[in-house]
A and B are shown apart, each in its own frame.
Chain A
Amino acid sequence: MRHDLRLSGRRRDAHQYAGNVTSGLVYHVRGLEKSYRGADRPANAGIDLDVPMGEVFGLLGPNGAGKTTLVRQLVGLARPDAGLVSLLGHDLVVDPAIAARLVSYLSQDEVALAELPVRRAIETTARLRGSRRSQAARLAGDLIDELGLAEVSAEPLVRLSGGQRRLACIASALAADRSVLILDEPTAGLDPVARRGVWAALRRRRDERGATIVLVTHNVVEAEAVLDRVAVLDGGRIIACDTPGRLKTAVDDSVRVELVWRADPPLHDPTVGVLARTAAVDGARWSLRLDRGQVRDVLERLTRGPIVDAIEDFSVSTPSLEDVYLALGGCHDDLERA
């Protein structure tokens, strides 16, 4: 609008903000493309995405799926080759710097903070987000308590274990309240207790403060536990996007069977020979997706006669997001299941 051109920077911000929050969307992404020089395929190839306010939205996919490239564009660090990225109505292609004033971003590894003591790392991040010194000190204290970092608060991050260091980086990302949090694999390397602590901290920010959270993960357990909706990425494209529950209904008629062999699998057995054709093999562990109707018959054959002696362990589980990913044509097998 012509009138906009005459507005001062601050008034223009306010005007744009007021006009766009009413849409209820935090991110509106269309036709996003990004390629790197020398790569044989685009990192992002036509991504369309909407993230509403107050949602915990996930990007799930294996390494190399294009998740980090996508979030670097969502936080204004990388410019798209083509397409639109709108953050609360602000066009990030035109004004990428506005993202830093709206979003807290946690990258995969915060090397810049490595040599700082934990408390100082959190305080510095808060101050660089515009908090006053006293505010930053109070925020650091609160976050140290919330994430259980009191014992190591004076230690430089570089001297901490991988899990504690990741927690300190998460604390820095949460410093200074932002309404949008984008966290790239925040719980990678955390033990289950710390992981649940982080999930709880994120939920608090959503439930009590209405924060919108975009979470990058390649952990299917995390995706199912904390996400309202998940976009599954593969080869730079979104191959599915819905709630974890609805995505799993697509593979509801199947069951996952895990087999662990004591020694070499008895491939001469007809049943084992047939299963070998579709099993995902990881050492002595076979992972199979079978139709519900088949399972009883297959288990009976395996647990009857001499074959059972060759089996160390087996389990049967309902389908996970990993099964959804594979059913949708995902071709990588490095999703985490822990």
Chain B
Amino acid sequence: MTGGVGVTPVRSEVRAAVRSSAPGPRVSLWAGVIAVTASQFARVRVSRGPLLFVATLQSLGLLVLMRGVVHRDDVGTTSAAVAGSTLLVVAFVALNLLAQRFGALRASSALDYYGALPVSPAAVVLGTAVSYAGFAIPGAFLTAVVGLVLYGLPLSAVWMVLPAAVAAALALSGVGAWIGLAFPRPELATVAGQLAMTAFLFLGIIAPSHFPAVVRAVRDLVPGMLAVDALARSFRPDPDWAGITARLVASAAYGALALVAAGRAFRRAIDR
């Protein structure tokens, strides 16, 4: 049966429709990121406080726990413990919560809302990631300050928390979003996000020199590890700034690739 045209619209209506039926504008990546970020901040305004509290408390607890087993004079170990615990706040939010969020959006067909708007999947993923990671940054600073004092490390490099958290957030949230979008069921995405955060926890707060060679070789592939190493190096008395910068750039590049993968997973999830 053909749904052929059975009614001739009024000529003036057609003229009006013709006038207004040119394509609307494309929304640029940054305009999309800003709009999504703003809406996500409005969305999580209520739940932000408790989540940030839990994420920060977990890292502070780890710092206190490790203080009992780590020798303060071993700068390599103490700086790794502080850097890993600091960025664990970001990992909790960006990996765990973002995987849950995108898994839930996918499961409820809510991605259709964004898919039917002239905004790129990358902007949706990045905007959501920025908002989630953004409210973790105060907790990361608090954890760093407490850790540096607790382990007797200099406070002069505490500003490095910001670039390290941003570089880590890119990598961690890219992977977190990819997990949420790529796994077919939200429960699997939640488990995978949790496992990824556990890997970050174990590999991030212990200095690489304590691991066997085979673990050290794959450690850099875990999202956020390059940023942890960069932050740990900056906490030492003789920071290697070239090495630190290279690691931050590499972490950001890792994040960019993860975001591209998440964007592709977004499109595949919509065309189900």
Interface secondary structure of A, over-half rule: mixed
Q: Which residue of B4, B13, B22, B39 contacts A53 across the interface (Cβ within 8 Å)? A: B13
Q: Mark A3-22, 1 if CB is under 8 A from B, else 0.
A: 00000000001100100011
- Nearest Cβ distance between residue B264 and chain A, in whole angstroms? 14
Write the A95-124 contact mask toward B (1 if CB under 8 angstroms, else 0).
001111111010101111101110011001
- Residue pairs across A and B with CB atoms within 8 Å: the count is 178
Which residues in window 92-130 of B have CB below 8 A to A? 104-105, 108-119
> CB < 8 Å: which of A78, A79, A110, A231 contacts B3?
A231
Q: Which residues of B contact A75 (CB under 8 A)?
A: 116
Interface residues of B (CB under 8 A from A): 1-10, 13-27, 31-32, 35-36, 38-39, 42-44, 104-105, 108-119, 270-272
Q: Do residues B6 and A103 form an inter-chain contact, with CB atoms below 8 A?
A: no
A6 CB, min distance to chain B CBs, angstroms? 20
- Point out the residues of chain B lying under 8 angstroms from A99, CB to CB: 116
Residue from the list B6, B15, B18, B26 in contact with A130, Cβ < 8 A: B26
Residues of chain B contacted by A212 (CB below 8 angstroms): 17
Known contacts: A111-B105, A124-B39, A210-B16. The answer to whether A48 contacts B271 by CB under 8 A is no
A79 to B109, CA, bound (A): 16
Query: Which A residues lie within 8 Å of B31 (CB)?
Result: 127, 130
- Chain A minimum-CB-distance residue to B105: A112
Contact A21 B18 (CB under 8 A): yes
Q: Among residues 39 to 58 in chain A, which have CB atoms less than 8 Å away from a CB atom of chain B?
A: 47-55
Judge whether B17 and A211 touch: CB under 8 Å: yes
Q: Which A positions have Cβ atoms within 8 angstroms of B?
A: 13-14, 17, 21-22, 24-26, 29, 36, 47-55, 72, 75-79, 88, 97-103, 105, 107, 109-113, 115-117, 120-121, 124-125, 127-130, 176-180, 206-207, 209-212, 228-229, 231, 237-243, 246
* Cβ-defined contact, B270 with A124, below 8 A: no
Q: Which 3 A-B pairs have the closest CB atoms?
A: A210-B16, A210-B17, A54-B13
**Chain A: minimal CB distance from B132 (Å):** 14
C-alpha gap A177/B44 in the complex (Å): 29
Q: Which of A48, A53, A107, A109 contacts B9 (CB 8 A)?
A: A53
Inter-subunit contact B20/A17 (CB<8 Å) = no
Q: Given A50-B4, A124-B38, decide whether A129 and B271 contact each other with a Cβ distance below 8 A.
A: no
| Residues of B contacting A100 in the complex (Cβ-Cβ under 8 angstroms) | 115-119
Is there contact, CB below 8 Å, between A110 and B14? no
Q: Could you tell me the distance between the alpha carbons of A176 and B272 in the complex, rounded to whole angstroms? A: 28
* CB-CB nearest in chain B for A18: B22
Instruction: Evaluate contact between B24 and A129: CB separation under 8 angstroms.
Output: yes
* CA A100 to CA B270, docked complex, whole Å: 14
27 A-B pairs with C-beta separation under 8 A: A24-B14, A48-B1, A49-B2, A50-B3, A50-B4, A53-B21, A54-B14, A77-B112, A77-B271, A97-B118, A100-B116, A100-B119, A101-B26, A102-B23, A102-B24, A111-B109, A112-B111, A115-B44, A120-B39, A128-B35, A128-B119, A129-B27, A130-B25, A130-B26, A229-B7, A241-B3, A243-B7
